[in-house]
Amino acid sequence: MINVQNLTKRYGDLTAIEDVTFNVEKGEILAFLGPNGAGKTTTMRILTCFMPATGGTATVAGYDIFEHPEEVKKRIGYLPETPPLYTELTVTEYLGFVSRIKGIERKDRAPALTRVLERCALTDVRHRLIGNLSRGYRQRVGLAQALIHNPEVLILDEPTTGLDPKQIIEMRQVIKELAGQHTVILSTHILPEATAVCQRVVIIHKGRIVAVDTPDTLSAQLRRSEKVRLTLRTPSPETADALKTVPGVVSIFQEPSADGQVFMVECELGRDIRTELAAQAVRRGWGLIELAAVRLSLEDVFLQLTQEESKPDETKEEVMKGETS
Amino acid sequence: MRSTLAIMGKELRILFTSPIAYVVAAMFVLISGYLFYSIVLFASSQSMQIMRVQGALPQINLNDLVFRPTFHNMAVILMLTLPLITMRLLAEEKKIKTIELLLTSPVPLTAIVMGKYLAALVVFTLMLALTAYMPLLMWYYGSIQWMPILTGYLGIWLLGGVFIAVGLLASSLTENQIIASFISFGAVLILWLIGWVSQAAADTSWGSFLTYLSIGEHTENFIRGMIDTEDLVYQATLIIVGLFITHRVLESQRWK
């Protein structure tokens, strides 16, 4: 549905994105993940034909964004980071205007309006001025604006920023429901959001794509070792040493907790030592309370990837400093 | 065409839900009305004097005595007030980022520029229509010729059209409304002042060139009751050039 190839955007000397390549399948929800200033918004603005790219190509729904921008624009719904709302208009007036500039036929406008008002739960506030609505409602009007012409592709730039936790959950629910009928790209810098809503994640950092995969595989791939969290109520002083003798264990880290003692047991990759640990704990009477495999969260993956990227840069800078001094 | 009307409609709705249009129109009617009143007072005292000297009812030309200065006054007031209507047209869209909605919708840039221009033109036309009581009063209580008044209105309307095109261009250059209004006020003032410079350099080829450029010169004929194609071409050219540059500015801002 969306095919992006080697997209590059430069502002003078500054490179906002470089060689961005990815695909989105029909009906998929893809998250664009990256720290602030990574180039998420720039990529989205290029895909929506708001600004042209310096290099590379992209097609949306089979149309090239440079050669047929009008066709692309008809098929895209876009919610920018700041919802583009006219505070002087009421919700109905505003959505009516949007439906006209999106080229919806006169007879289809009223049904389209009713549909988005219902879908975004705006029916109660439809006659109120947008300027008097709360942040959560405004965000929903923004989403309604993107949905009104029932586009094949939806591009949402940080759709949950500035919302309270309840509104965030509602917004995510709405987005999830869109999957299947619409192809969705959403950007976020909040990791749990990507895991909660999306089938695939593109991690972008400093204008380059550092990883593309499902949230699960990403965390699995980047796991260097398995970690097990073991909580014991009555460990003996030699517990740590005893644990080290279990085959496959690499290191042990312990800390006290309310229930007793927590042992973080790190072991070789691809080895499941949980049954062995449980057997030991029961046999020696350590008072086993909890035993769980620790998954690397997307948060860790993200930090790992973005930090790895920045490390070479730092060393480069140091080398350069050394040369000049 | 349909999207031009959509944008015009939205713009008018905002202009009339916010107080801008009312405030500007009210100030325009108030100031031009006050000046009209003082001109009429002056004209009546003059005719009294002539009557005392000649001892008979004089044949005074109300068109010359009342409407020529009134149209001149209107031109100056419009120079000050129209930038307030045009300043927000594009600057505001950029400031509150609604320009992203317009530029990612299947709407040609021309429709955006034309829709905004026409909206401001409609407001201005309504403003001007509010001054219709002036000729109606004079017609009821005195005798006036209608044709020179209609050409005078045409001249002022075209002048306002130029001011709006300049204001729209100024608004496209910045996202700050105050700067936009000041740029358009300055640009319009320069167009006006060229006339004064040209008078100083009269009778040289340079002087006649400047005279041609001056906007006051091209409005004067309309106010005198003449429609000259030269003036029509001049005003139309300024409007088209203003709108064309606005279009180019918006296009180039996408590439930055």
* Domain locations in chain A as residue ranges: 2-220, 224-294
Is B20 in CB contact (< 8 Å) with chain A?
A: no
Predicted confidence (pLDDT) at residue B144 exceeds the cutoff of 70:
yes
* CA end-to-end span of chain B: 28
Looking at residues B205-233, what average pLDDT do you find? 86
Share of chain A above pLDDT 90, in %: 31
Q: At residue A29, what is the residue type?
A: I
| DSSP H helical ranges for chain A | 40-47, 69-75, 91-101, 106-119, 135-147, 165-178, 191-197, 215-221, 239-244, 274-284, 298-324
Name the residue in chain B with its Cα closest to that of A155.
B104
Cβ neighbourhood burial of B45 (10 Å; 0-12, 13-18, 19+): exposed
What pTM value is reported for the model? 0.82
Distance from CA of B105 to the nearest CA of A (A): 6
Looking at residues A254-263, what average pLDDT do you find? 80
Residues near A71 by beta carbon (within 8 Å), at least 6 away in sequence: A61, A63
Distance from CA of A35 to the nearest CA of B (A): 22
Name the residue in chain B with its Cα closest to that of A145.
B101
Dihedral pair phi/psi, residue A80, rounded to 5°: -70, 170
Interchain contact, B17 vs A48, CB within 8 Å: no
- pLDDT at position A319, please? 39
Interchain contact, A97 vs B10, CB within 8 Å: yes
- pLDDT at position A318, please? 41
Predicted confidence (pLDDT) at residue A100 exceeds the cutoff of 50:
yes
Distance from CA of B186 to the nearest CA of A (A): 29
Compute the count of residue pairs across chains A and B with CB atoms less than 8 Å apart: 72
- Closest CB to A74 among B7, B98, B106: B106
Predicted confidence (pLDDT) at residue B239 exceeds the cutoff of 50:
yes
Cα(B149)–Cα(B74) distance, integer angstroms: 13
Mean pLDDT of chain B: 90
| Residue from A9, A71, A101 whose CB has the most chain B CBs within 10 Å, to mutate | A101
- pLDDT at position A293, please? 77
Interchain contact, A100 vs B104, CB within 8 Å: no
Predicted confidence (pLDDT) at residue B180 exceeds the cutoff of 90:
yes
Interchain contact, A100 vs B254, CB within 8 Å: no
**Structural domain range at position B32:** 2-255
| DSSP H helical ranges for B55-132 | 62, 68-86, 88-95, 99-103, 109-129
Q: How confident is the model at residue A321 (pLDDT cuts 50, 70, 90)?
A: very low
Predicted confidence (pLDDT) at residue B53 exceeds the cutoff of 60:
yes
Helix axes B215-224, B146-173, angle to 10 degrees: 160
| DSSP H helical ranges for A255-297 | 274-284
Dihedral pair phi/psi, residue A87, rounded to 5°: -70, -15
Looking at residues A184-210, what average pLDDT do you find? 84
Predicted confidence (pLDDT) at residue A322 exceeds the cutoff of 50:
no
**What strand order describes the sheet that includes A76-79?**
A76-79, A153-157, A183-188, A29-33, A200-205, A208-213
Predicted confidence (pLDDT) at residue A191 exceeds the cutoff of 80:
no
CA dihedral (B172, B22, B5, A132) positive or negative: positive
- pLDDT at position A308, please? 58
pLDDT digits 0-9 by tens, B99-134: 999 999 999 999 999 999 999 999 999 999 999 999
Higher pLDDT, A160 or B242: B242
Structural domains counted in chain B = 1
Contacts of B251 in chain A (CB under 8 A): none
Contacts of B100 in chain A (CB under 8 A): 45, 50, 78, 80, 84
Q: How confident is the model at residue A146 (pLDDT cuts 50, 70, 90)?
A: very high
CA dihedral (A257, A261, A266, A271) positive or negative: negative
**b/e per residue, B161-179, with b = 16+ CB within 10 A?**
bbbbbbbbbbbbbbbbbee
- The residue whose two tokens read 């509010």 is B130
Is B96 in CB contact (< 8 Å) with chain A?
A: yes
- pLDDT at position A58, please? 92
Per-residue DSSP letter, A181:
T
Cβ neighbourhood burial of B6 (10 Å; 0-12, 13-18, 19+): buried
Dihedral pair phi/psi, residue A21, rounded to 5°: -135, 125
pLDDT digits 0-9 by tens, B4-51: 999 999 999 999 988 889 999 999 999 999 999 999 999 888 888 888
- Return left, alpha or beta for A19; rule: phi > 0 is left, psi -120 to 50 is alpha, else beta: left
Interchain contact, A97 vs B107, CB within 8 Å: no
Predicted confidence (pLDDT) at residue A325 exceeds the cutoff of 70:
no
Cα(A122)–Cα(B92) distance, integer angstroms: 26
Predicted confidence (pLDDT) at residue A39 exceeds the cutoff of 70:
yes
- Return left, alpha or beta for A211; rule: phi > 0 is left, psi -120 to 50 is alpha, else beta: beta
Contacts of A84 in chain B (CB under 8 A): 96-101
Q: How many other CB atoms are found less than 10 A from the CB of residue A122?
A: 21
Cβ proximity of B253 and B90 under 8 Å: no
Mean pLDDT of chain A: 83
Cβ neighbourhood burial of A171 (10 Å; 0-12, 13-18, 19+): buried
What pairs with residue A230 in β-bridges? A263, A291
Interchain contact, B97 vs A80, CB within 8 Å: yes
Name the residue in chain A with its Cα closest to that of B256.
A11
Contacts of B101 in chain A (CB under 8 A): 78, 80, 84, 98, 101, 145
**Which residues in chain B (99-118) have CB-CB distances under 8 A to chain A?**
99-107
Dihedral pair phi/psi, residue A59, rounded to 5°: -125, 140
Q: How confident is the model at residue B57 (pLDDT cuts 50, 70, 90)?
A: low
pLDDT digits 0-9 by tens, B156-176: 999 999 999 999 999 999 999
From the list B181, B159, B193, B177, the residue with the least C-alpha distance to B78 is B159
What topology does CATH give the domain A224-294?
Alpha-Beta Plaits (3.30.70)
From the list A162, A160, A161, the residue with the least C-alpha distance to A174 is A160
From the list B183, B105, B11, the residue with the least C-alpha distance to A78 is B105
- pLDDT at position A317, please? 41
- pLDDT at position B153, please? 94
Q: Which CATH number fits domain A2-220: 3.40.50.150, 3.40.50.1820, 3.40.50.300, 3.30.1300.10?
A: 3.40.50.300
Looking at residues A60-76, what average pLDDT do you find? 91
* CA end-to-end span of chain A: 53
Q: How confident is the model at residue A152 (pLDDT cuts 50, 70, 90)?
A: very high
Predicted confidence (pLDDT) at residue A314 exceeds the cutoff of 60:
no
Secondary structure class of B56 (helix, strand, coil): coil
Task: State the virtual CA torsion across A88, A94, A100, A102 in degrees, nearest 10.
Answer: 110
Structure tokens at A287: 């008072």
From the list B187, B182, B168, B188, the residue with the least C-alpha distance to B114 is B168
| Residue from A74, A88, A145 whose CB has the most chain B CBs within 10 Å, to mutate | A88
| Chain A: residues touching B (Cβ < 8 Å) | 11, 45, 48-52, 70, 73-74, 76, 78, 80, 82, 84-89, 93, 97-98, 100-103, 145
Distance from CA of B108 to the nearest CA of A (A): 8
- pLDDT at position A324, please? 39
Cβ proximity of B117 and B165 under 8 Å: yes
pLDDT digits 0-9 by tens, A204-228: 888 888 888 887 777 666 665 677 8
